[in-house]
Structure 1
């Protein structure tokens, strides 16, 4: 699982997550970033910068594998950052996120005072509590460390919480849930994951994923159609040729989507689809998510003829 990227998305989209971990109200105006200290090629996973110099800067690191030099590197990064940005904040705090206690560095005598100080907060995701009791931002974090056997049920539960609770930016939370599950179930398509999470066809059509795929398909169809139209059109019939080309281009996109889902498409079924009107092709493209096999496609064509 590409956890660095995943946690970057989580903090960038829901910066209140860090303050939920610390059990404090989210202060306004904080900006999140991942910072590279170029002089040494150090990189801090996350820096939460206060809006004014009187605030506290928060450093956050996600550490899922044991590294017995971690605290040496982490505190070096922090103090270098403090030196380079002197005067831009009044205090600092650090948070390290571990999946469990076994992932933490074993010995750190030279840094004992800092590790045990109130400046460093160590979080163990498997000890956060139940998904039912956690804020959604923290439940998303815990979802990343669940075993595969539990993840599908937990993800569906969080998706349902997102639908029924008054949460800010529910579309962002749904997208993050989907991304986490995709990282775990690498052989599933995004559409299959959304189905697994209990999305209805209408909900699927409202997702960013569906809208982007459909918009891309439409644009590819237009481009393919324009090419065919230019090749077939003559001066007196150019407009008609362009229209026919657009129609054939969109039909080709629908056929490609069917092949991706069900394999080869019989020639007679392909011919029926190519004969559809532009309005019918658009309706078929929107109905694709309802089909479970090519027989359902044939049934839809029979109803639409």
Structure 2
């Protein structure tokens, strides 16, 4: 299953959870961004930047598969960042999804023994297990269930409960939306043979889109003539209102779709939490169209 983008989305929305997983409290507030090292021609998995320039920065690497170069890679990124920012205090956090992936590469693993938090290693499975023992309904624990739960029957049975834990949590709205998006993505990956709507119906109680005026207009168009242009305008209007964005950002993205695709999109919108979810749906449908 995909992890890098999902882990970045989770921990960039709530960096304090990553520090909690690393078992220390920073002396400042942090935000996570991703930067590109031109000499390596690659982007970092994450860079934790403090509000104050005199506090440490943390290069972050997420690792979900066996790789005997991951320590070297993170050290190289730390050195490259230090070369460009010689006055900064630079540190590293290496996040393994599973403890068995950690080869404890020398000499770099010795840095983890420092009491100054110079180089921290996180075992995500262990952290989540411990967190679940303390708080079984923690939103981060629930978000990872589609990734960690092996039994699909249990996933189907408990998905609504886990999603509710996220949705009803006290997390700020942007953080909550990020968690919901990642939960949805991982559910889709676990049930690849089902449509977006079929997957989301496992955990989201939908308000029937068919009851809205815009959708009724859309259905009428489809029944009468299947006019693609008019259908596109209506769906773009629904999306603009739902995701608080401009129609001009949406309309060009709908042009490659057929009338049926546009209507399917309209039918799936209420299950989507963010504009990013809609774009992902559109891009996946474009791939299907191009493959036919």
- TM-score (ref. length: structure 2): 0.62
Alignment partner for residue 182 of structure 1, among 177, 188, 195? Answer: 188
Partner of 2:20: 20
Report the Cα distance in structure 1 between the residues aligned to 2:79 and 2:73, rounded to whole angstroms. 10
Matched, 1:92 2:86: no
Pairs within 5 Å for 1:131-146: 131=132, 133=135, 135-137=138-140, 139-141=142-144, 143-146=146-149
Q: What is the deviation of 1:31?
A: 3.0
Report the Cα distance in structure 2 between the residues aligned to 1:22 and 1:147, rounded to whole angstroms. 26
Report the Cα distance in structure 1 between the residues aligned to 2:227 and 2:142, rounded to whole angstroms. 43
Matched, 1:102 2:100: yes
Matched, 1:193 2:191: no
8 Å CA contact retained: 1:143, 1:154: no
Superposed CA deviations along residues 203-224 of structure 1, whole A, max 9, x for unmatched, are x76xxxxx9x97xx69997763
Q: What is the deviation of 1:167?
A: 2.4
- Structure 2 unaligned blocks of 5 or more: 232-256, 272-292
8 Å CA contact retained: 1:125, 1:141: no
Alignment partner for residue 169 of structure 2, among 165, 180, 187? Answer: 165
Q: Secondary structure at the match of 2:148?
A: coil
Q: What is the deviation of 1:139?
A: 4.6
Change (3 A) 1:124 1:113: closer
- TM-score (ref. length: structure 1): 0.60
Superposed CA deviations along residues 22-43 of structure 1, whole A, max 9, x for unmatched, are 3456776533212221113243
- Deviates further, 12-21 or 76-85: 12-21
Which structure would you say has the larger Rg? 1
Q: Secondary structure at the match of 1:96?
A: strand
Matched, 1:66 2:77: no
> Higher relative contact order by CA 8 Å / sep ≥ 6: 1 or 2?
2
Report the Cα distance in structure 2 between the residues aligned to 1:155 and 1:24, rounded to whole angstroms. 31
8 Å CA contact retained: 1:21, 1:138: no
Q: What is the deviation of 1:256?
A: 3.0
Q: What is the deviation of 1:78?
A: 1.0
Report the Cα distance in structure 1 between the residues aligned to 2:165 and 2:149, rounded to whole angstroms. 18
Pairs within 5 Å for 1:248-267: 256=260
Change (3 A) 1:49 1:256: same
Report the Cα distance in structure 2 between the residues aligned to 1:26 and 1:10, rounded to whole angstroms. 18
